[in-house]
Amino acid sequence: MSHYGVAIISTIVGLGIGILLATCVFFYTRICRKRPHFPLQSNRPPTQTPIDSSSGSFSDASTVSSVIQEIPRPQEHRSWFTRGNRCADNKSKQGIPIFPYKDIEKATVNFTTILGQGSFGPVYKATMPGGEVAAVKVLASDSTQGEREFQTEVDLLSRLHHRNLVNLVGYCVDKGHRMLIYQFMSNGSLESHLYCDDLEDSKILSWEQRIEIILDVCHGIEYLHEGAVPAVMHRDLKPANILLDESMRAKVADFGLSKEQVRPRRHKSGLKGTYGYMDPNYISSNRFTTKSDIYSLGLIIFELICAINPQQGLQNYIDLCSMSEDENENADWEDIVDKKLEGKCDPYELRILGDVALKCLHKTSKKRPSVGEIILTISKIKQRQLAKKGIPQILQRIETQQKQLQTKTMKKIHVNVPVE
């Protein structure tokens, strides 16, 4: 055989061997890719994903909710609402328990005892597995509030804790259901006590109770405005969102429209809130500040005085009192006081509280008092009431707290940058 023939045969054999090797490498690579990869063992618990607060504000609401799930693979971009609960006794990263739908259904006895109805949806009474009584707020399919408000509320209440803010017991995101579970407030809302004609005499709010309630509300708002970091604006303050416990102590509720305050940018978004309780400056400028909450607080104080809401013509009473102040005359607050309080409240204390309400409603936002200043004034009324009852020790303690609060307020005046 010639050298030429040998070369051809060698070339063919070499090509055959090369193709065979390439085929082996190809199939080996495919097999390796299909083989599962097991992570190293770790004593750490499975990582869980909190709710993304940056994307969860309804109409720029920053009240936040977390759904506890296993971390999705990087290529998956599902929202936390679409993942669903996978564990009955799971807890969010913030420590808020997550309940499966079947447990809530059992706790509410198939949703039989309804406590009320709001824009979010119906509220049911429940007895949780541990035996504690709770209120379950269910997001209705036709709710004017949505999943973003749900997310906002859970996120905020998971990090904000104060004796005058309603406590979030847990929540449920399961099988398309959205539910918030709160501590049970046995005496319902402030609204129900102010406007229910069927109340027994023992359940009518006394003047002392009304002072106590507004102080509680102010302490809750003070925590939101000055204690939370960043500050939180409630944006929907009204009697329906103030709940009363078995001791008639008030707690601020419903944070679905709340928003964190980020300086120096002002918050500009679609108007959100309840008609009649919104700051006129917010309506005209579409910018919400902490002083907009103060405006709503002033309306609540007016309602505590005269038991008339904005839909019943409260503005007429406000205008009447404002005219008296503009003419350097003392408004006759006794003419507008709640009929249930006639002859049962101190005229001097009534005038002090009324003056505070008017200041909260000042047309210029910057001239409205801070919540700390409101607390200082109303605390003097409380101090006066206790002095009448002859309680020196409690009086001394309140006086000490008042001085501490005054010192804190003065420091903030010198340090803080104005919100407006």
What are the catalytic residues? 236
Sign of CA dihedral 289, 53, 227, 238: positive
Separation CA 122–CA 137 (nearest Å): 6
Query: Rounded CA gap, 44 and 221, in Å?
Result: 39
Please give the Cα distance from 221 to 227 (Å, whole number).
9
- Taking CA atoms, 184 is separated from 124, 128, 179, 255, in Å, by 10, 11, 15, 17
Beta carbons within 8 Å of 124's beta carbon, 6+ residues apart: 108, 111, 112, 113, 114, 115, 135, 136, 138
What is the number of other CB atoms lying within 10 angstroms of the CB of residue 118?
Answer: 18
**Are the CB atoms for 99 and 121 separated by under 8 Å?**
no
CA angle 273, 276, 279 (to 5 degrees): 65
Contact call for residues 160 and 223 (beta carbons, < 8 A): yes
Q: Identify the DSSP state of 125.
A: E
Strands of 235-393 (E only): list them. Answer: 242-244, 250-252, 259-260, 267-268, 287-288
Q: Please, is 119 exposed, middle or buried when counting C-beta atoms within 10 Å of its C-beta (0-12, 13-18, 19+)?
A: middle
CB atoms within 10 A of CB 213: 21
